[in-house]
Amino acid sequence: MAGTNPTPTEYIQHHLQNLTFGLHPDHGWSIAHSAQEASEMGFWAIHLDTMGWSIGLGLIFLWVFKKAANAATTGVPGALQNFVELMVEFVDNSVKDTFHGKSKLIAPLALTIFCWVFLMNLMDLVPVDFLPMLAAKIASLFGADPAHVYFKVVPTTDVNATIGMSLSVFALIIIYTIRAKGFSGFIGELTLHPFNSPNKLVQALFIPVNFLLETVTLLAKPISLALRLFGNLYAGELIFILIAMIGLWQLPLHFTWAVFHILVITLQAFIFMMLTIVYLSMAVEKH
């Protein structure tokens, strides 16, 4: 918000607003100049900063691991190869200990989730004003008002991103369940558990109750997966923003919170990966 003296509330709101592009009822296809305009664009609006950073960080992950794979040697490995082999072995052991089925997809999926989510979380350690101010200065060169340039750099503080990832996991849960047990087995899991009875009539009475309970349990998986990651990173980002507002003492406080937040960043990436493995393992287990 270069060239302005925002109040604390305006400062916080500005840093928590995404760069939104969509169809506005009055302005047509455009970038939102306020939170209200972003809201008026509706469901199909897209957060350009979230998409840009998440895709960019995903490409960085692919590039680093591909570079390590191309340079891999059976001789004395370099630092990059050692790091990549360590990550692959760590994820591989986690999958072997947790996933009880057979699938060539789970280990690469788990590795991608852990590294990608970790990189997105890691952006939380960048000083909150640095990249937004840089974006505002670049935008001002093209005639844009810096006060209307929003730029969030932590994709996992956008609930749309975390829900998008969790819905992908949810789709895999459904696919793996049907592939392992058939469509009838999938319906059976929703209607014949947890209450059952050898009496056919009693079991028929249990079906609506079972269906309600199991459907809630099934839908709770992607919701909890998304909101856990979003909530922890959003809270961490908000604390960084509050620290940035206090002026002279922000550097030592930023460093102290960043050291602690490294644990949160790593732990949340690990939890997202492990829950994905656990959910997919439960999908292929037969009861």
Q: Which sequence positions are flagged as catalytic? A: 224, 228, 232
Contact 118, 269 (CB under 8 A): yes
Helix residue ranges, H only, the chain: 8-15, 35-40, 48-70, 79-98, 106-122, 130-141, 159-191, 200-244, 250-284
Contact 98, 273 (CB under 8 A): no
Burial profile 249-280: b = 16 or more Cβ within 10 angstroms, e = fewer? ebeeebeebbeebeebbeebbbbbbbbbbebb
Two tokens, residue 193: 């558990």
Q: How many Å from the N-terminal Cα to the C-terminal Cα in the chain?
A: 57
| Angstrom distance (rounded) from CA 48 to CA 152 | 9
Q: What Cα–Cα distance (Å) separates residue 152 from each residue in 5, 11, 15, 49, 163?
A: 20, 13, 7, 6, 17
